[in-house]
Amino acid sequence: MRVALLTAISLTLSGCVGNPDFDLRVKDSEYGSAVFRIASIMANVKCELWEAANSEQELPSFHNDTDLRRRETEQAEPDRVFNLKNIFSTIAYVGEMSITLDATERSGVSPSAHFFGWGSDARPLSVDAEASLSGVGHRESTTYHSVDFERLVQGEDVPAAKPPAAPCRTGTELSGPLKIVEILQAGLVASDMNDISVWPGNASNPGAGKGGVGDRYSAGQIHAVVDFTTVSSISGGPTWSLRHFEGPGKGLLNASRVAKHQLIFTFIPICIRNKYQRIKATLPHEYEPKLPRGSPRWANYLPPCGTARAAETRAVALGRAHDVNVMERSRELRILQ
């Protein structure tokens, strides 16, 4: 009977676990947490992307050696300084960003009891009994969004998006920086140092073709994954102690909530923007005015943005960026399993 009572306690105290909210702080009764969290993430990501792409902080150029000696360069004109703004106003990048909202809630009860004082003094008897009941609720949502850096940095190509009206990271979500600027800076510094790429005409890699680096080859692709996870938990419960009974124990109630949200970026260079005129049609191209310092060596293999080849490259790049993001998401799911 006591064991049956213990089980009844477990069933009574355990609540139903439904689909969890993506955010504990639901801000509007009409829309709910998913709408406000995704809107907050998008606003902060756009803000950081705009700030990063327009950064005028000068980047270092290193010799291609492990001692990382800096290259000695003369003072450059402002539009030729090696920084993100000058590079992205020269090289058009497109890509994709995926946003995943993932929340898991677990709740349950695990009462335990210790019955003692049974039997005789010569043969004392005690009985331990445990029961448990738990439930898990999980919800996940992934959205995919294309990114065009020509909309981030002012140029002659297309109208640029308006800069953020308020400082980044001022909302209730993502109060800390995603550090997108560091991701882009690291990618471009690495590209500036890379002089060992295989280009068309190299006999060791004939598959690259004569017209340029083929679709299978990545030149300057920047890929990054940013996770931000919050974990909340509660456990405990009353402890009853009677003459012949102790229970249900401190582990009676337990509940946890894990919200793991993820951003995946893939950005790919496609062409040289309209500010620069191609003066040499054969590969590698030459452009006037000269490309900014720090422009990677593969930049002279990119076509002008106004050409048919550039339009084709854009479509291919967007498809490739999506494939990379989907493969990254699949890899993350396999790790979680």
pLDDT above 70 (res 17): no
Per-residue pLDDT reduced to its tens digit, 159-172: 888 888 888 876 55
Backbone angles phi, psi at 62, to 5 degrees: -110, 150
pLDDT above 50 (res 244): no
Side-chain-side CA neighbours of 5 within 13 Å: the count stands at 7
> The whole model's pTM is what?
0.75
Q: Between the CA atoms of 307, 310, 312 and 314, what dihedral angle is there, to the nearest 10 degrees? A: -140
User: Which of 106-115, 142-151, 164-173, 214-223 is the most confident on average?
Assistant: 142-151
Backbone angles phi, psi at 55, to 5 degrees: -65, 130
Tell me the pLDDT of the chain averaged across its residues.
76
User: Who wins on pLDDT, 298 or 14?
Assistant: 298
pLDDT confidence of residue 166: 81
Per-residue pLDDT reduced to its tens digit, 125-153: 665 655 556 667 788 888 999 999 999 99
At residue 108 the predicted structure's pLDDT band, cuts being 50, 70 and 90, is low
Per-residue pLDDT reduced to its tens digit, 50-59: 999 999 999 9
Per-residue pLDDT reduced to its tens digit, 66-89: 889 898 777 889 999 999 999 999
Rounded to whole angstroms, how far apart are CA atoms 64 and 320? 29
Helix (H) or strand (E) holding 10: helix 2-13
